[in-house]
Amino acid sequence: MARIGVFLCWCGENIARTVDVAQAAEASRGIPGVRCAEHYKYMCSDPGQALIREKIVSERLDAAVVASCSPHMHLKTFRRAVAGAGLNPYRIEIANIREHCSWVHHDKTAATAKAIDLIRMAVAKVRYDHALEPIRVPVTRRALVIGGGVAGIQAALDIADAGYEVVLVERDPSIGGKMAGLSETFPTLDCSQCILTPRMVEAGQHPRIRLHTYSEVEDVQGFIGNFEVTIRKKARYVDMTKCTGCGECMKVCPLKRTPSEFDFCMGTRPAIYMPFPQAVPARPVVDKNVCAKIIRNGCGLCEKKCAPGAINWQDRDELIKEQAGAIVVATGYKLYDIGREQKSAGITGYGEYGYGKYKDVIDALQFERLVSASGPTNGEIKRPSDGAAPQSVVFIACVGSRDNAKGMAYCSKICCMYTAKHTMLYKHKVHSGQAHVFYMDIRAGGKGYDEFVRRAIEQDGAKYYRGRVSKITQEDGKLIVRGADTLAGTPVTVAADMVVLASAMRPADGVEELARKLNVGYDENGFLLESHPKLRPVETNSAGVFICGACHAPKDIPESVAQASAAASKVAVTFAASELTREPEIAKIDEQMCAACYTCVRTCPYHAVERAEVRSPKGALVKYTARVNQGLCMGCGTCVAVCPSKSADLEGFSEEQIYAAVEALS
């Protein structure tokens, strides 16, 4: 005979106002198997927990039902409480009489009856609970960081400084990401490269960081503590061990007119190139789509010039494997592709702004290269069409942001700030120039941010118009920007020499594909989903995979860095234990019953069910079966639902328990 204790919580007035707890306790005592039923004002408090422990001992209880708030809130609290009295923590059930009852009802009589029903169901379920032990898995104490922008670098350095090994994978030839190309940063106007490049060098030289640049994550297998990652190292055609980074090859390459990705096509580069002089690693790569040697076996000048003989035309993509215990995703962002990117075909998404049609209409990252001291114009503001210093520049905020019709619904968050910065940098370099800004709202929340925008307007004289631009056309060499000033209630026309579009931030290309490899969720815009927006901001629903930076949502440098450090600390926490424990409420397969149809293998969203063999003690094959990988299973129950032979079941949520609970209602 079961000896079950029922513990009802008043939750102050939250429950007691609507549910007659004394009456519910009395009714609970009549449920078969219930040994005692107590109620208390705050069951989660110290005295409340002490009451539970005391009753477990005095009544020799073997299971307990706590009728209180949602298990999301306090299941762990009560598990610890009963464990303190020697009861297996998986032998308690929560009857949620707050969110499921008192908060959503008014009629006290009916609510009390419902609370009793919920308790009866929980009692029926708890009867079939049995003692479970947390699952223990070993940990590989090496982290994989995907993306070598400022967030990835920060995460890698923090993890490495905590004493763990890091594998840092970057798609481009150098780490540094978008920040390496920025001019100066808001709100302090300190030089972006000056603060980033030392960190890049640190990451490149750190004894515990292994760098794979020009590489991409091809495949991820395994689970928290035990990931196996396949990385594609793209062919560089340069032997990293021989190359000294002297740069002679780049000087002799005749194909110097190739648009530079790093300069967002504002400048050019040779076919063999380093994206920028401070690149880490400071080793060039050959662009196989441009190089004359690779395309038609011509040229080869770089090879002749290379003293150490580092050019290797036989280089091919290489797949390597790395083991990791945790993964940090920091893949960053790209800008909305103005005039080309759109939700539905037929709409070009701001084609009316003439981006791509008028040379002097550029986007914000292109402007960054134009004002950067290391940029293609050495920081002189020369407009692309004729190299003249623009005397009038229009900056348009929210291009593609906050626009359901042809862009994204969300706010890109950083454009207000960098647009203010752009107007200042422009004014500081072209003293006679006038900056005009069209904006929807100024969103300058942050330390020193609003002051910064005020400075742009009040000290550096940027003209701000609250309104949208309807069209940009070209007349007599001027860009005619027609918009509205909604505060003045008038149309505004500005004849500009250059236009800068603050286009929306979007997740980097390929992030959705990567997310699927990692079993990480993403939203309709492709931004990766955190596990809980407030309490688990850098965790994902895939155990052991963490996110930071702009792959999660538009964010600025300070936020990305803070989040990267948060992700790093989560990795350090994961690595602190010698082995990991996981909740044991996962699926199990009755291997004798299993018909090995593998429907579950195909359906499991976490790839946690594997094909396996049952063998006799002598090693002979008895039968095939499905088997749950305890490290991967998230306990969602999909396999239980699809199993035709009913061989799959969920610990702590068995079909037996669910049926018992439903029957208790009738």
Partner 1 sequence: MKLGYYPGCALHGSSNDYEQSLKACLGALGVELEELDDWICCGASAAHSLNHTLDVALPARNLALARRQGHAEILAPCPMCSMQLLKAAKAAAGDVELRAAVETIIEAPVDAGAGVLNLIQVFEKSGLDQIKSAVKRPLKELKVACYYGCLLLRPPAVTAFDDAEEPRTMEAVVAAAGASPVDWNYRTECCGAGMTMANPETVLELSNRILENARAHGANCLAVACPMCHVNLDMKQAAIEQRYGVRYGLPVYYLSDLVGMALGLPEAGLGTQRHFVAGPVSAKEA
Number of residues that bind partner 1 (CB under 8 A): 13
DSSP code at position 263: T
Tell me whether residue 480 or residue 658 sits nearer to partner 1 (CB atom).
480
In the complex, what is the shortest distance from the CB of residue 489 to partner 1, in angstroms, rounded to a whole number?
Answer: 18
In the complex, what is the shortest distance from the CB of residue 475 to partner 1, in angstroms, rounded to a whole number?
Answer: 7
> Which burial class, exposed, middle or buried, applies to 283 when counting CB atoms under 10 A from its CB (0-12, 13-18, 19+)?
buried
In the complex, what is the shortest distance from the CB of residue 145 to partner 1, in angstroms, rounded to a whole number?
Answer: 41
Among 350, 438, 522, 546, contact with partner 1 (rule: CB under 8 A): 350
DSSP assignment string, 408-431: -SS--SSHHHHHHHHHHHHHHH-T
* 405 touching partner 1, by CB under 8 A: yes
Among 475, 493, 617, 620, contact with partner 1 (rule: CB under 8 A): 475
In the complex, what is the shortest distance from the CB of residue 441 to partner 1, in angstroms, rounded to a whole number?
Answer: 23
For partner 1, what does the binding mask look like between residues 235 and 274, x meaning CB under 8 A? ----------------------------------------
Q: Of the ranges 44-52, 129-137, 291-299, 339-347, which one interacts with partner 1 (CB under 8 A)? A: 339-347
In the complex, what is the shortest distance from the CB of residue 349 to partner 1, in angstroms, rounded to a whole number?
Answer: 9
Residue 238 · residue 312 · CB < 8 Å: yes
Tell me whether residue 223 or residue 438 sits nearer to partner 1 (CB atom).
438
* 99 touching partner 1, by CB under 8 A: no
Which residues, 6+ apart, have CB-to-CB distance to 296 below 8 Å?
none
H or E element: which one contains 345?
A: none
Tell me whether residue 348 or residue 569 sits nearer to partner 1 (CB atom).
348
Which residues, 6+ apart, have CB-to-CB distance to 643 below 8 Å?
599, 600
Tell me whether residue 46 or residue 476 sits nearer to partner 1 (CB atom).
476
Among 474, 525, 569, 599, contact with partner 1 (rule: CB under 8 A): 474
In the complex, what is the shortest distance from the CB of residue 342 to partner 1, in angstroms, rounded to a whole number?
Answer: 9
In the complex, what is the shortest distance from the CB of residue 411 to partner 1, in angstroms, rounded to a whole number?
Answer: 22
Q: Of the ranges 135-143, 153-161, 342-350, 381-389, which one interacts with partner 1 (CB under 8 A)? A: 342-350
Distance CA 372, CA 168 (A): 27
Q: Which residues pair with 6 in a beta bridge?
A: 37, 65
Tell me whether residue 347 or residue 662 sits nearer to partner 1 (CB atom).
347
Residue 653 tokens read as: 């949520």
Q: CB pairs under 8 A, 24+ apart, for 78-87?
A: 78/43, 78/44, 78/49, 78/52, 81/49, 81/52, 81/53, 82/52, 82/53, 82/56, 84/49, 84/53, 85/52, 85/53, 85/54, 85/56, 85/57, 86/56, 86/57, 87/56, 87/61, 87/62, 87/63
Among 348, 385, 569, 599, contact with partner 1 (rule: CB under 8 A): 348
Q: Of the ranges 106-114, 340-348, 497-505, 565-573, which one interacts with partner 1 (CB under 8 A)? A: 340-348
In the complex, what is the shortest distance from the CB of residue 471 to partner 1, in angstroms, rounded to a whole number?
Answer: 7
* Cα distances (Å, whole numbers) of residue 457 to 149, 430, 450, 613, 659: 31, 16, 11, 72, 68
In the complex, what is the shortest distance from the CB of residue 344 to partner 1, in angstroms, rounded to a whole number?
Answer: 8
Distance CA 613, CA 635 (A): 22
The angle formed by the CA atoms of residues 123, 124 and 128, to the nearest 5 degrees, is 105
Residue 486 tokens read as: 């909604």
* 619 touching partner 1, by CB under 8 A: no
Among 352, 380, 450, 512, contact with partner 1 (rule: CB under 8 A): 352
Q: Of the ranges 272-280, 347-355, 423-431, 580-588, which one interacts with partner 1 (CB under 8 A)? A: 347-355
* 484 touching partner 1, by CB under 8 A: no
* 483 touching partner 1, by CB under 8 A: no
Residue 499 tokens read as: 């236009």
Tell me whether residue 342 or residue 531 sits nearer to partner 1 (CB atom).
342
Buried b (16+ CB within 10 A) or exposed e, 71-89: beebbeebbebbeebebbb
* CA-wise closest residue to 640 among 588, 595, 563: 588
In the complex, what is the shortest distance from the CB of residue 409 to partner 1, in angstroms, rounded to a whole number?
Answer: 16
Distance CA 537, CA 207 (A): 30
Residue 35 · residue 5 · CB < 8 Å: yes
In the complex, what is the shortest distance from the CB of residue 399 to partner 1, in angstroms, rounded to a whole number?
Answer: 13
In the complex, what is the shortest distance from the CB of residue 554 to partner 1, in angstroms, rounded to a whole number?
Answer: 25
For partner 1, what does the binding mask look like between residues 296 and 335, x meaning CB under 8 A? ----------------------------------------
Tell me whether residue 345 or residue 535 sits nearer to partner 1 (CB atom).
345
Grouping H, G, I as helix, E, B as strand and the rest as coil, residue 183 is coil
Tell me whether residue 88 or residue 474 sits nearer to partner 1 (CB atom).
474
Considering only residues 414-473, where is the footprint of partner 1 by CB under 8 A? 471, 473
Tell me whether residue 70 or residue 473 sits nearer to partner 1 (CB atom).
473
In the complex, what is the shortest distance from the CB of residue 365 to partner 1, in angstroms, rounded to a whole number?
Answer: 22
* 343 touching partner 1, by CB under 8 A: no
Residue 468 tokens read as: 């949208």
* 480 touching partner 1, by CB under 8 A: yes
* 493 touching partner 1, by CB under 8 A: no
* 351 touching partner 1, by CB under 8 A: yes
* CA-wise closest residue to 130 among 96, 90, 94: 90
Tell me whether residue 187 or residue 467 sits nearer to partner 1 (CB atom).
467
53 backbone φψ class: left, alpha, beta (φ>0; ψ -120 to 50): alpha
Q: Which residues pair with 66 in a beta bridge?
A: 7, 94
Distance CA 423, CA 435 (A): 6
Distance CA 158, CA 46 (A): 37
Q: Of the ranges 39-47, 179-187, 341-349, 655-663, which one interacts with partner 1 (CB under 8 A)? A: 341-349
Residue 24 · residue 112 · CB < 8 Å: yes
Residues that bind partner 1 (CB under 8 A): 339, 346-348, 350-352, 405, 471, 473-475, 480
